[in-house]
């Protein structure tokens, strides 16, 4: 899968999240602008905090559309520890607060 397809998936996830919350993703979009999609998602995966976007999509039964799911689908773009963190989050969606 290409990096363009990856970028499209990131944008689709952002749009879905924004639709669910009813306003722009004011923290995530600037983070992506600053670090790029790979850098931003890498930072989010290894963070001890569980992001609001994950919670919103988890609670609406859309785990397959989270950034974590995007990282797993495009694992060739990420460091192994980032993919491992994303996989753990998907396997334990309620274990982080």
pLDDT in tens, 10-48: 999 999 999 999 999 999 999 999 999 999 999 999 988
Task: Report, as an integer, the average pLDDT of 78-94.
Answer: 95
CB 11 within 8 A of CB 76: no
CB-count exposure of residue 54 (10 Å: 0-12, 13-18, 19+): buried
Query: Whole-prediction pTM value?
Result: 0.93
pLDDT at 70 over 80: yes
pLDDT at 66 over 70: yes
pLDDT > 90: percent of the chain: 84
Taking residue 96's Cβ as centre, other Cβ atoms within 10 Å add up to 14
């Amino acid at each position: 899968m290409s990096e363009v397809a990856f970028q499209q998936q990131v944008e689709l996830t952002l749009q879905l999240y924004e639709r669910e919350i009813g306003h722009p993703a004011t923290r995530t979009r600037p983070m992506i602008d600053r670090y790029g999609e790979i850098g931003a998602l890498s930072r989010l995966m290894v963070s001890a905090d569980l992001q609001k976007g994950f919670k919103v999509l988890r609670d609406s039964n859309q785990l397959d559309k989270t950034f974590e799911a995007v990282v797993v689908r495009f694992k060739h773009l990420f460091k192994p520890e980032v993919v491992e963190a994303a996989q753990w989050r998907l396997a334990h969606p309620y274990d982080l607060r």
